[in-house]
Amino acid sequence: MIGKGILKGMVETARNLTGSFHDPDRLTTVEYPEQKIPAKENARNFPFLIYDGDDWETGLRCVSCQICEKECPPQCIYIEKDKEKKPDFLGKMQMQPKIFDIDVSVCMGCQICVEVCPFESIRMDNDFEYAGSDRFKSLLLTKDQLAKSNKYYHSIHPTEAQETDEIRVQKREDHLAKEKAKAEKLAKAKKEAASKAALSKAETAKEE
Amino acid sequence: MWFEELLIAIKHYLVLQMPGSLQPVGSAFLSCLPIMTSFGGLFALATLLERKMLGRIQNRYGPNRVGPGGLLQPVADGIKMLTKEDIVPKNADHLIHFLAPLGLLVSAMLGLSVIPFGHRLIALDIETGILFFFAVGAASELAIFMAGWGSRNKYALLGALRAIAQMISYEIPLILSALSVLMVVGSLSLSDVVQAQSGGIHTWHIFTPWGFLGCILFLISTLAEINRSPFDIPEAESELIAGHMTEYSGFKYALFFMAEGVAMFAMCALTATLFLGGYHAPFPILSFIPGPVWLFGKLTSLVLLFIWIRGTMPRLRADQLMEFAWKFMLPMSVVNLIAAGIWVALDGGVAAWISSGLLNFVAYFGWSRILSQASRFSPRTYRYAEEAGVSE
Ligand code: SF4
Ligand code: SF4
């Protein structure tokens, strides 16, 4: 019969219309700026620089080796080295960046910079609320905007941050072990040299 | 009635203040002013209501950012439309391109002038009111074709051609179903039509066999006449960008929308007048509430019905649309006319009820059965999908 299907459809839409007022399952809209869905753990957007401790300038892990700058596919990282060096977490003197800029309007979020960084100093952020009135300046993030604490990293990507920390602990242990081995070797060499010297002294004394 | 008398008294007082030579013009102006302002305002509210309701039908909120609950959305839309650049294509026929939106709005507004909004509250009380209404309504076809032709754009022209074909086809059932009312009332004047339904809800034409079918046919043809979903093929976004409005921008585009809205109100007001008792209250006890309130209430509920239909149905294909008009609407409206004739012949008693009701009932079920057997009207079967076991 002509018209039956139409009536059925009208009943269905009427059910939607009234249902959306009392059934929260139907109205799934999240009103964005006021309400937010917490980000998924693996969500990532643009990179940021990690620092340890409280002061971002001294704690910055980046040693400005410029590997990420060379690897970044769209070439959106710009680094200039500083002349001053500063000690890293192992106590070695390292370079540091004077300028570290990422143009997030160009960055495509590929995470290659993260993969190649040998110093665990650059990681992906999940902040997506970037907007600027200016095409060039406001989306060019500078060093101070990029620097974020390790604590923040733990809060956004806990699993990954844990792994990163473990790598660093491992590195420190390796370093300490190496230092120890070096020191032992040095001590041994010294001892040997000393005993050799003593021996040769004794020999010369015997000959005389 | 006190409200209508008050309005009329105010108008008379104002007219008497004018110098004698200006009085006819002033009187006409004062009659137009309330119609133009109230329907302009109603249009703004209806756009908001439409978006809100469509949103709810699709389980979302709809506009809720501007003002409390999105109430100021029409203002924001208006400002946006007015500040947009008005682009006219280089090769367009400038005069026709310019006149089309105006013509459409004028023809829509003119239709409202013969609608009785209350007792004696009618801008243009002429003997042949309904004829006038359909005549100026038909002028909108001309305006739409002017828009399509003047823009020098293939989409616009195609949209306009579709609009003409559709409006001419649906004009016939529209007028035939309105004719049944005129036959029974025996007058072309809309005031007489309303007067015939003054006795309360049981005298409304919709509660007669011919009125019921006539009202449904009238509403369906109305949807097609004002190019509303599901008959919006003249401006089918997915096929024709925006049909005849493709080359319009800024204020002219807004005028098109306004004209469509006003045409919808005019048609709904006519439906309410013909079938739903016009400005009369459903029960005589309630007649202390002024007539315009009743008419606007009925009009708004019809608009809500249209929005509901829009939220429910997909767009028809052009050939389905034509088939529906010529194979279903036209025969049904002719049958309805015969039923109205029987009603008049038997003078509206129980016998008239039974015989005209039976005629309509049998015609509707029989005809839809016959049509359903012609496979084009029956539900489609998806052979391959069903064989693969995908169907429900
Ligand atoms: S972020 Fe990493 S790879 Fe890039 S310059 Fe700094 S240390 Fe080198
Ligand atoms: S995420 Fe990719 S595009 Fe963005 S800075 Fe790193 S390497 Fe460049």
Q: What is the DSSP string of B297-334?
A: HHHHHHHHHHHHHHHH-PPPPHHHHHHIIIIIIHHHHH
Burial of B164 (0-12, 13-18, 19+ CB in 10 A): middle
Which of B56, B315, B330, B371 to mutate: most A Cβ within 10 Å?
B56
| Partner residue facing A2 (CB), from B53, B313, B368 | B368
| Alpha carbon of A128 to ligand 1 centroid (Å) | 22
Q: List beta partners, residue A147.
A: A49
Residue A127: the pLDDT is 85
Burial of B120 (0-12, 13-18, 19+ CB in 10 A): middle
Q: Say which residues have a Cβ less than 8 Å from residue A130's Cβ, sequence separation at least 6.
A: A46, A104, A139
- Per the rule left: phi > 0, alpha: psi between -120 and 50, beta: everything else, A75 is left
Report which protein residue has its CA nearest ligand 2's atom 3.
Answer: A107
CB B147 within 8 A of CB B248: yes
DSSP at B151: T
In this predicted model, what pLDDT tens digit does every residue of B9-52 receive, in sequence order?
888 788 888 887 888 888 888 888 888 888 888 888 888 989 98
Contacts of A26 in chain B (CB under 8 A): 59
Q: List all residues whose CB is within 6 A of at least one atom of ligand 1.
A: A 62-68, 79, 117, 119, 121-122
Residue B391: the pLDDT is 47
Report which protein residue has its CA nearest ligand 1's atom 3.
Answer: A117
- Cα–Cα dist B199/B181, whole Å: 16
Pairing state between β A147-149 and A47-51: parallel
Nearest ligand 1 atom, CA A77: 4
Please, what sign has the CA dihedral across residues B236, B239, B240, B242? positive
At the top level of CATH, which class does the domain A47-166 belong to? alpha beta
Query: In the predicted model, is pLDDT for residue A35 greater than 60?
Result: yes
Model confidence band, residue B206 (pLDDT cutoffs 50, 70, 90): confident
Mean pLDDT of B287-304: 86
Contacts of A5 in chain B (CB under 8 A): 379
Residue A67: the pLDDT is 92
Size of interface A-B (CB pairs under 8 A): 47
Mean pLDDT of B180-186: 88
| Alpha carbon of A121 to ligand 1 centroid (Å) | 6
> CB A1 to CB B365 under 8 A?
yes
Query: In the predicted model, is pLDDT for residue B380 greater than 80?
Result: no
Q: Which ligand is nearest to the CA of A95?
A: 1
The residue among B98, B178, B107, B175 whose CA lies nearest residue B141 is: B107
Distance from CA of A38 to the nearest CA of B (A): 21
| Partner residue facing B308 (CB), from A3, A10, A19 | A10
CB A123 within 8 A of CB A153: yes
Distance from CA of A126 to the nearest CA of B (A): 27
Least confident of B125-129, B173-177, B233-237, B335-339: B233-237
| Long-range pairs, A16-21, Cβ under 8 A, ≥24 | A16/B56, A16/B57, A16/B58, A16/B59, A17/B53, A17/B56, A17/B57, A17/B308, A17/B311, A19/B59, A20/B56, A20/B59, A20/B60, A21/B56
3-state helix, strand, coil in chain A (%, to 5): 45, 15, 40
pTM over the 0.95 mark: no
The residue among B216, B233, B325 whose CA lies nearest residue B276 is: B216
Burial of B344 (0-12, 13-18, 19+ CB in 10 A): middle
Which ipTM score applies to this complex?
A: 0.70
Neighbour-count burial for A30-47, b at 16+ CB within 10 Å, e otherwise: eeeeeeeeeeeeeebbbb
Nearest ligand 2 atom, CA A104: 4
DSSP at A149: E
In this predicted model, what pLDDT tens digit does every residue of A152-179 receive, in sequence order?
998 888 888 899 989 989 988 998 999 8
Burial of B239 (0-12, 13-18, 19+ CB in 10 A): middle
Distance from CA of A16 to the nearest CA of B (A): 5
Q: Which ligand is nearest to the CA of A69?
A: 1
Give the dihedral of Cα atoms B128, B266, B101, B136; nearest 10 deg: -10
Interface of A with B (CB under 8 A): 1-3, 5-6, 9-10, 12-14, 16-17, 19-21, 26-29, 31
Mean pLDDT of B151-157: 87
> CB B369 to CB A31 under 8 A?
no
Model confidence band, residue B379 (pLDDT cutoffs 50, 70, 90): low
Q: Say which residues have a Cβ less than 8 Å from residue B341's Cβ, sequence separation at least 6.
A: B183
DSSP annotation string for B239-259: HHTTGGGTT--HHHHHHHHHH
Residue A112: the pLDDT is 93
Q: At what angle do helices B291-312 and B250-275 cross, to 10 degrees?
A: 110
Tell whether ligand 2 has an atom less than 6 A from the beta carbon of residue A110.
yes
Q: Average pLDDT, whole number, for chain B?
A: 85
Q: List beta partners, residue A99.
A: A80
- Cα–Cα dist B42/B19, whole Å: 33
Report which protein residue has its CA nearest ligand 1's atom 8.
Answer: A65
Q: What distance lies between CA B98 and its chain's CA centroid?
A: 25
Mean pLDDT of B179-192: 88
Q: How far is CA B219 from CA B118, B249, B275, B292, B306, in A?
A: 22, 30, 10, 21, 9
Query: In chain B, whose CA is at the least distance from the CA of A34?
Result: B65
Q: How far is CA A176 from CA A201, B233, B259, in A?
A: 37, 78, 83
| Partner residue facing A13 (CB), from B60, B61, B308 | B308
Find the DSSP H helices in chain A: 4-22, 56-59, 67-71, 112-116, 143-146, 150-156, 158-207
Tell whether ligand 2 has an atom less than 6 A from the beta carbon of residue A47.
yes
Q: Tell me the domain boundaries of chain A.
A: 47-166
Residue B87: the pLDDT is 84
Pairing state between β A77-81 and A86-87: unpaired
Query: In chain B, whose CA is at the least distance from the CA of A9?
Result: B312
What backbone torsions phi and psi does residue A61 show, to the nearest 5 degrees? -75, -25
Query: In chain B, whose CA is at the least distance from the CA of A11?
Result: B312
Beta strands, E only, B49-122: none
Contacts of A28 in chain B (CB under 8 A): 59
Q: How far is CA B307 from CA B56, B233, B265, in A?
A: 11, 17, 12
> CB A1 to CB B59 under 8 A?
no
Q: Which ligand is nearest to the CA of A75?
A: 2
Residue type, B336: N
Distance from CA of B211 to the nearest CA of A (A): 18
Query: In chain A, whose CA is at the least distance from the CA of B329?
Result: A2
Mean pLDDT of A105-134: 89
